[in-house]
Amino acid sequence: MKTDDIMRYQQQNPAVIPENMDTRQSIYGLTREGLEEWFAQHGERPFRAHQVWDWLYRQRVQSFQEMTNLSEKARELLDEHFQFNPLEVVKFQKAEDGTVKYLFRMNDHLLIETVLMYHEYGLSVCVTTQVGCNIGCTFCASGLIRKQRDLTAGEIVAQIMQIQHYLDEQDKNERVSHCVLMGIGEPFDNYDNILDFIRIINSDHGLAIGARHITVSTSGLAPKIREFADEDIQVNLAVSLHAPNNDVRTSMMRINAKYPIEELMDAIKYYMETTNRRVTFEYIMIEGVNDQPEHAQQLSDLLASKRRLSYVNLIPYNPVAGTNYQRSPAENIQKFHQILRDNKITATARREHGTEIDAACGQLRSNEMKRQRHKRTIRPRSNV
């Protein structure tokens, strides 16, 4: 079963919300300042937040009861208002190259996935930010169903924590050093939650994942790119460009009709001027659609004035059932790459990770959905 099948499955067979669903917020969703404020409002000293964060992100305990320097009263108060970990492991897969893929069930029984990849430079986790996606790119399995809901900041942080707990159990002293917001969903369509998420994992008192080690990928919501430029965080920005002109891009990405390339590039110019930071342009190579020499030349022209801060990432397309798109042959990718180089555009052709277990979003979820099919009932609420 391919990714688009899962997506349709989740649409047609909504998750069963358990009657006794835990509705408490996850403790992982609070920034340190947020927790300080919460303690103050509940008659405790804000300093408690420092202690709790130490237990959460340094000691990495998995229950409030283990926070032994907190009073019994404070622990009970926390337990009354917060749950610890909102994700239940449904499936775990490990590939030979070390790539690990988790399938998690959230409190309302919707399924999400998270991938851990080993790179020369460190351990990177790819997190999911939404269930489904409303952007509707024609090549992407996530876009084949409407968004069912945004993930909370706590649910996104918990993905990293689950992986970190797994690493802790291996006892190899490994830590998640990098994070990419490239799983299912459009991060800038869940803006406030991803911002909290970034602040939490980036904090020196939290997991201390360096801002330069965090990458947000967007399909190109131009106004949000401008807003992001003005935030006080220094993370990397990747833009899923995928085509060098409006005709091709709109055929692949509906969002381009709303924010055409000119508007997108203006927003990126603003981002570059404001932050002086490099932007990665993601470009999936699809045979006969966007991989021809003229596309490479158009892309070079488009980025010519932004050369200093542009970086192009050529990615082999991972075919999705139900679309007619095919992966570009290696020679098309090489030719394309060469044209960019001739135009002095910095580019790499990205290696794939976890193909053995299919690290592309959605695949793991699909098989589990199949098994759950017989259990389905109507999902009583919609968050769309």
Does position 271 bind ligand SAH by CB under 6 A? no
DSSP helix/strand/coil, 153: helix
Dihedral sign of CA atoms 87, 89, 91, 96 in order: positive
Q: Which helix (H) or strand (E) holds 218?
A: strand 214-218
Contact of residue 207 among ligand SF4, ligand SAH, none (CB under 5-8 Å per partner type): none
Measured in degrees and rounded to the nearest 5, phi and psi for residue 84 equal: -85, -70
Q: Tokens standing for 34?
A: 């947020």
x/- map, 124-143, ligand SF4, by CB under 6 A = ---------x-xxx--x-xx
Residue 182 touches which member of ligand SF4, ligand SAH, none, C-beta under 5-8 Å by kind: ligand SAH
**Among residues 35, 284, 333, 339, which is the contact residue for ligand SAH, using CB under 6 A?**
284
Report the interhelical angle of 293-303 vs 330-342 (nearest 10°).
30
318 touching ligand SAH, by CB under 6 A: yes
* Residue 36 near which of ligand SAH, ligand SF4, none (CB within 5-8 Å, type-dependent): none
Q: How far is the CB of 129 from ligand SAH (least distance, A)?
A: 8
187 binds ligand SF4 (CB under 6 A): no
**Least Å from the CB of residue 272 to ligand SAH:** 18
Compute CA distances 262 → 180, 278, 302, 306, whole Å: 26, 19, 9, 13
Which residue stretch of 74-82, 261-269, 303-311, 317-325 sits at the interface with ligand SAH (rule: CB under 6 A)? 317-325
> What are the tokens at 313?
């990432």
Q: Which of 219, 236, 363, 366 binds ligand SF4 (CB under 6 A)?
A: 219
Using rule CB under 6 A, residue 186 touches ligand SF4: yes
Q: Which of 158, 320, 347, 359 binds ligand SAH (CB under 6 A)?
A: 320
Residue 261 CA to residue 258 CA, distance in Å, equals: 10
Structure tokens of 222? 């131009």
C-alpha separations of 141 from 134, 158, 246, 350, 360 in Å: 12, 24, 22, 20, 9
Q: Which is nearer to ligand SAH, 197 or 317 (CB)?
A: 317
> Least separation, in Å, of the C-beta of 140 and ligand SAH?
4
Cβ proximity of 99 and 115 under 8 Å: yes
Find the part of the chain contacting ligand SAH (CB under 6 A) among 6-14, 38-46, 147-155, 315-323. 315-323
Which residue from 93, 99, 218, 363 is in contact with ligand SAH, where contact means CB under 6 A? Answer: 218
- Residue 320: name its binding partner from ligand SAH, ligand SF4, none (Cβ under 5 to 8 Å by kind): ligand SAH
Q: Which of 200, 304, 290, 274 is nearest to 241 (CA)?
A: 290
Amino acid at 83: Q
Residue ranges in 94-113 that form contacts with ligand SAH under rule CB under 6 A: none
Indicate which of ligand SF4, ligand SAH, none lies near residue 283 (CB less than 5 to 8 Å, by partner kind): none
**Who's near 203: CB < 8 A, 6+ residues apart?**
31, 32, 53
Residue ranges binding ligand SF4 (CB under 6 A): 133, 135-137, 140, 142-143, 184-186, 219, 240
